[in-house]
Copies of this chain bind each other. A is one copy, B any other.
Amino acid sequence: MVPGNRFERRKQRTRQDILRAAERVLADKGLFDAKIADIAEEADIGVGTVYLHFQTKEALTEAVVEDTVTRLKDTVDRARASVESVVDKVRVSTQALCRFAHANRAVFRVVFGRGGGYHDIVRRAQTMFAADIERTLAEGVAQGVFRVGSAALAAQALVGMSTQLLAWWAEQDTTSIDEVEATITHLTLHGVGRTDEGV
């Protein structure tokens, strides 16, 4: 009823159109070869309209990245909160991460793949994820379930491993996401070493 709402709704829809178009174009051309004109054309709007919604090209790409990172963090946080044991936390957060990558393959490639780390926001995101994992690791160590030298370093390493492997996976077509999930989970919990020695 209120006119402001109608305008506002339309504006928000256009904003979402731009974000989705940007995701597609960025995934297609990469973070540095994507031109604003390409994105505008993909969204089927004028170039000026992009600047009505985002102050600079930088701001647009940051919005794409931030949008993705926020959704991913929500997903992983919810998964982690749904279980109790630290081992389960590792399992389900890995599962959530892989499922997200599977459902958002193109944009995942943009954000965590080639050139993704170029943006501060990705680094901040990795730091956030690492902080969460560090807490779980510390808890596991306290419970005598985990053993790591430095929880902080280990967390950083595990985030690196997961994102790199998923970025690699997202670039090719020969591996199922389930295999990736199994690999991450197994390496995280046991590394490459045998754990059945006494069996």
Contacts and interface: CB of A to CB of B under 8 A. Distances in A.
A91 to B, nearest CB: 12
A95 to B, nearest CB: 15
A148 B190 CA distance: 9
A7 B30 CA distance: 32
B32 A157 contact: no
Nearest to A160: B164
Interface string A101-140: 0000000000001111110000100100000000001001
Copies of this chain per assembly? 4
Interface residues of A, number: 53
Interface in A172-199: 175, 179-180, 182-184, 186-198
A131 to B, nearest CB: 13
A193 B190 contact: yes
A57 interface: no
A10 B35 CA distance: 25
A153 B165 contact: yes
A160 B149 contact: no
Contacts of A32: 32, 118
A189 to B, nearest CB: 5
A113 B126 CA distance: 13
